[in-house]
Structure 1
Amino acid sequence: MIKNKFIVVEGLEGAGKTHACIYIKNILYKRYNIKNILLVRQPGSTFIAEIIRKLIKKKFYFEHLTKETELLLMYAARIQLIETKIKPALKKGIWVISDRHDLSSIAYQGGGLGINKIIINQLKLLFLHDCTPDLTIYLDVCPKIGLKRVLNRNSLDAIESRSLEFFKRVRKTYLKNIKLDQKSIIINANLNFNIVNDDITKKILIWLKKQHI
């Protein structure tokens, strides 16, 4: 059996990240009988990080959350999760599948909000160290399609309520960075649900074979 891995699923709102994380977990279990798998989301998945998540996503009508505050809150939640759950799990041989990681900050706070990538990379170097994904699966969805899916299932939170232009910048930044990452897979998430599942299955099985399972 292959050594446990850290897998991250990235994408815009409505791309299907949560479903993809569960789907990948099922592939690992059904195909390879891997049972020790931790599913997490960013921001979130610890008591403190979930409080930060609610703070970031809440609509405040009396005070504006600055882009720098948002970035630092994202990293506060991320550090809390990494130090208390992700790193301990990986050391114990547990597979970790995360709904988002630091690439989200590069795309959202960097590409979307315009914070200099150098600043975000400095935070990464200072606090994340070697906690980098073995595989990043990017679910590529057009902003209009993704936001329509989100709107159909619930009301929009503070981030989901941002402009279409914001999400276009986020997607552009995602694609730019993913194409430079050799440890990544791109999935066309605009397509039918079943087609997306089939593509995830095909590509992750190819990746797993390369890991000598």
Structure 2
Amino acid sequence: MKLRGKFITFEGGEGVGKTTNLTFLRDYLIQHHIPVVVSREPGGTQLAEKIRSLLLTKHKESITEQAELLLMFAARSQHIRHVIEPALAEGSWVLCDRFTDATYAYQGAGRNLGASTIQWLEHFVQQGLTPDLTILLDAPAETGLKRAKQRGELDRIEDETLSFFGRVRRGYLLQAELEPARIKIIKADQPLVDVQNDIIGLIKHFFVNEH
């Protein structure tokens, strides 16, 4: 019987280095002969990627806050069923660029939808699935947005106001306060080598007896 894999998510606002550091951890796990699957939200499956495109493309018709929230969970349902759960069952570690903490931060705090509806949808869609570890890369909203703008054209959500991203950051920090055992904050505005040393430290602390 295969040992169930570990589910690790990377969270944070725009421009905090999630992709860079997720790739770094993927390579570290591969070097240590740990099977790993990398994915992202919204997205991760063919259908969920189409939903991602709907969410991030700028449309003439505005997307309501409620529609945005429901689309996020529609994509998540597909992602869990077709990627995350099968990979974990096979013993692979799943590294995911964003998961439900992002929904609490972006839709709950950023869009001012609050937590109660998200909590209901989380229970309905995830059926108890939560990450084993969440790495929250934290930086001031101004810093992250400046980095995001340097990458090129902004998508629909990246093009939001600074006050929106301030609420998103506060939403993330609130999540970390509520679940300190799972969500670990790493300062994303320190040198990259220090960020990555902190990540390896977390992995060794959380999973010292694994594999």
Q: What range describes the TM-score normalised by the shorter chain of this pair?
A: over 0.9
Partner of 1:63: 61
Query: TM-score scaled by structure 1?
Result: 0.93
Partner of 2:157: 159
SS of residue in 2 equivalent to 1:110: helix
SS of residue in 1 equivalent to 2:9: strand
CA 185–151 in structure 1, closer or farther in 2 if over 3 Å, else same = same
SS of residue in 1 equivalent to 2:178: coil
Q: Which runs of 5+ in 2 are unaligned?
A: none
SS of residue in 2 equivalent to 1:98: strand
Write out per-residue CA displacement over residues 14-38 of structure 1, whole angstroms, 9 at most, x where no aligned residue.
01111121111122222x321x211
Contact 2:7 2:94 in 1 (8 A): yes
SS of residue in 2 equivalent to 1:191: coil
* Counterpart Cα distance in 2 of 1:77 and 1:68: 14
SS of residue in 2 equivalent to 1:179: helix
Contact 1:143 1:167 in 2 (8 A): yes
Query: TM-score scaled by structure 2?
Result: 0.94
Partner of 1:101: 99
The residue type paired with residue 54 of structure 2 is L
SS of residue in 1 equivalent to 2:63: coil
* Counterpart Cα distance in 2 of 1:41 and 1:63: 26
Q: Percent identity?
A: 40
Contact 1:9 1:98 in 2 (8 A): yes
Write out per-residue CA displacement over residues 64-87 of structure 1, whole angstroms, 9 at most, x where no aligned residue.
110000000111111111011111
SS of residue in 2 equivalent to 1:137: strand
Partner of 1:170: 168
Alignment of structure 1 residues 1-213 onto 2, 5 Å: 3-30=4-31, 32-34=32-34, 36-60=35-59, 62-181=60-179, 182-209=181-208, 211=209, 213=211
* Counterpart Cα distance in 1 of 2:102 and 2:53: 17
SS of residue in 1 equivalent to 2:158: coil
Q: CA RMSD in A?
A: 1.5
SS of residue in 1 equivalent to 2:195: helix
Query: Structure 1 residue runs of 4+, over 6 Å off?
Result: none
The residue type paired with residue 63 of structure 2 is L
Contact 2:4 2:88 in 1 (8 A): no
* Counterpart Cα distance in 2 of 1:88 and 1:116: 31
